[in-house]
Amino acid sequence: MAKNWAIAIGVNRYDYLQPLNYAKRDALSMQEFLQSKAGFEKIYFFSDDSPDVGGKSTRPNRANLRQVLLELFNKPFMNAGDNFWFFFSGHGMRHDERDYLMPSDGNPGDITETAIPINFVTERLRRCGADNVVLILDACRILGTRAGEGIGRQTAEKVAQQGVISIFSCSPQEYSYEIEALQQGAFTTALLEGLGIQGKCATVEKLNQYLNHRVPEIVRQHNNGRQTPYIIAEPVNKSHLILVPRYATLADIATLKNDAYRAQVKGDLDLARQLWIHVLAAASGQDSEAIEALEDILRLRWERQQAPVPLPRNTAANSAKGESTVEKNPLQTFQFEVVTVNAQGNITNRRNEKAKYFEEDLGNGLTLDMVQIPGGTFTMGSPEGEVEGLDRENPPHQVTVSGFFMGKYAVTQAQYQAIMGTNPSNFKGEKRPVERVSWDEAVEFCKKLSQKTGHTYRLPSEAEWEYACRAGTTTPFYFGETITTDLVNYNGNYPYGSAPKGEYREQTTSVGKFSSNSFGLYDMHGNAWEWCEDVYNDNYQGAPKDGSAWLAGKNNDIKLLRSGSWFFNARDCRSAARDWYARANRTFDVGFRVVAVAVA
């Protein structure tokens, strides 16, 4: 069972600073929530008049706060899967490029000797041994002296390196408001709503979305100020961690499972173990996949190496039986950058990821890069509120997909020419995606590629395509809430959400021009539509849940398309967006990419 501990600090009365009204109440409310709703076993509470504990003062002065940080975190006392939260409500200051928390005796005239550096706090917290450390700071009550900038920037850089989940009440240039009508801070009010029954935000990602909406709403309602909270969760899978298990949905657990699968496939057994432990905790210890995965990790650790990942190879005997034999192929690793944007399309995060792939030799120095996609479970379709009036993307449903390999890029004109001996494309360019290809011609390409290489290639199922596109995300795009034409080739005259209008290129672009998703796949949004194996159905009623292609339908001549294109608007480029064409249709914005199935 996971261990859950916390420190909650609220400072109203200051020796050298303007007093606050509701910081103590903020901390007390957080303590009560953690004890009664979140199941925390031990909480160290510090406020102006909190009682002594074990003969030791809990007044929030510098000496007492440093003492608990030094003594409690002297050596590890928690494990993977455990949680430690640190909540501070009070004054914060920025001095000499560093962020500080101001204890009750903090002196703005002598900050280095009387305040507590936030990087000291995070360094001590990391010593506890828990892999899930949450730092919550409602400390931007006064602005610093450096160009009016408050705390946050230096702390954000530090915690991102340490893997600490950090929740800030406002941006560095803003003020964190206390609301008299609520008898509480705007941030803590929204935080407790989001974590509680009103928001039911089980994960970091959902809490971030709730705070971004609710805090500005509260501040606008009670005064004319601006307050924009934000969360730093690095690496990206930290945003999928489940903060409040009682509100976790099957989709939340499935997303966390995807992260665990990916870490395990990549060989990061320590991270995989941590994530599977969190899955098990969220599922109250009753998840057979998590139990089996933890057993596998234990075995792999003993073996000190991972088994090579096999690929199917056809033989005449097995081909007649519809089976395939297995040849073990060594995989290579490549690195790539993944970016995340906010609702306005501004990049808020850049990170480096790694994935494994193999190269298929097509001759004359031309290769086809096939990226390893780990198996997992995800929610397919549009979540409520993402887009109105598109029944074809409903109902959302859970699908479990087995591992496979997928083309890093859509099939290019050079690759198509090498296999088929022709290039039908309207917008010529060896590295541009092939277009003006019918569904049957795409299938024929797969057959000829299989014959040439000895590996079995085909079009992706629709479920495989969306799973690979999302790469563990649940937002409309794998970039986040929206896209811009700096990231995707689509008709920029028709943006999505709050993003601005952008460029309309009126043609395809070379593959790999833009950033990939976190699986290492490029151009899964826009550029050219991509054929899938499936027959088109009007909605997901009765759709397969095992990731296989849906081959039953009222018209086998109508086939599935995914990804959107340069010609279509941003809405049609979403991860859940789907469309159709007649299988014989050849148009200048339709291409395809291929998959090869991994056999265990």
Write down the domain spans for the chain. Answer: 4-247, 250-307, 316-597
pLDDT at 337 over 70: yes
Least confident residue range of 172-186, 219-233, 259-273, 441-455: 259-273
Reported CATH class of domain 316-597: alpha beta
Rounded-to-integer distance, Cα 58 and Cα 126, Å: 22
Class of domain 4-247: alpha beta
Q: How far apart are CA 345 and CA 248, in angstroms?
A: 28
Q: Which pLDDT score is estimated for 143?
A: 45
Q: Please name the residue that has the structure tokens 């409309």.
A: 476
Task: Kindly report the number of other CB atoms within 10 A of residue 572's CB atom.
Answer: 23
pLDDT (0 to 100) of residue 282: 81
Residue with the larger pLDDT of the pair 444 and 276: 444
Cβ count near 447 (within 10 Å): 13
Instruction: Using alpha carbons, select from 290, 255, 282 the residue that is nearest to residue 472.
Output: 255
pLDDT of amino acid 304: 44
* pLDDT-based confidence at residue 159 (cuts at 50, 70, 90): low
Q: Return the minimum-mean-pLDDT range out of 174-178, 465-469, 518-522.
A: 174-178
Label the pairing between strands 165-168 and 132-138.
parallel
Instruction: Assess whether pLDDT exceeds 60 at residue 314.
Output: no
pLDDT at 138: 93
Tokens of 591: 């291409």
What is the rounded average pLDDT of the residues 546-573? 92
Q: Is the pLDDT of residue 336 over 60?
A: yes
What lies within 8 Å, CB to CB, of 343 at 6+ separation is 480, 481, 482, 497, 498, 499
Q: What is the pLDDT of residue 151?
A: 65
- Supply the pTM of this predicted model: 0.54
Mean residue pLDDT across the chain? 88
Q: Is the pLDDT of residue 328 over 60?
A: no
Does residue 320 carry a pLDDT above 70? Answer: no
Residue 43, pLDDT above cutoff 80? yes
Among the residue ranges 278-282, 337-341, 516-520, the one predicted with the least confidence is 278-282
Residue 553: the pLDDT is 81
Side-chain half-sphere exposure of 589, counting CA atoms within 13 A = 24
**For residue 327, what pLDDT band results from cuts at 50, 70 and 90?**
very low
Question: For position 161, what pLDDT does the model report?
Answer: 58
∠ CA 101-107-108 to the nearest 5 degrees?
80
pLDDT grade for 245, boundaries at 50, 70 and 90: confident
pLDDT digits (tens, 9 = 90+) for 92-147: 998 888 899 999 999 999 999 999 999 999 999 999 998 889 999 998 765 433 33
pLDDT tens sequence across 57-98: 999 999 999 999 999 998 899 987 789 999 999 999 988 888
- Give the pLDDT of residue 298: 80
The pLDDT value recorded for residue 158 is 58
According to the model, what pLDDT value does residue 319 have?
Answer: 34
Weakest mean pLDDT among 251-255, 343-347, 421-425: 251-255
**pLDDT > 90: percent of the chain:** 66
Whether the predicted pLDDT of 416 surpasses 80: yes
Query: Given a cut of 50, is residue 379 above it in pLDDT?
Result: yes
Helix axes 186-195, 204-222, angle to 10 degrees: 140
Pick from 484, 477, 501: nearest CA to 573: 477
Taking 80 as the threshold, does the pLDDT of residue 215 lie above it? yes
Whether 475 has a pLDDT exceeding 90, the answer reads yes
Instruction: Tell me the average pLDDT across 479-483.
Output: 96
Name the band, by pLDDT with cuts 50, 70 and 90, for residue 413.
Answer: very high
Task: Supply the Cα-derived Rg of the chain in whole angstroms.
Answer: 27
User: Does the pLDDT of residue 311 top 80, yes or no?
Assistant: no
Structure confidence at residue 280 (pLDDT):
84
Is 564 exposed, middle or buried (CB count within 10 Å of its CB: 0-12, 13-18, 19+)? buried
- Predicted pLDDT of residue 316: 34
pLDDT in tens, 561-588: 999 999 999 999 999 999 999 999 898 9
pLDDT grade, residue 252 (50/70/90)? confident
Q: How confident is the model at residue 155 (pLDDT cuts 50, 70, 90)?
A: low
Q: What is the pLDDT, as a whole number, of residue 160?
A: 56
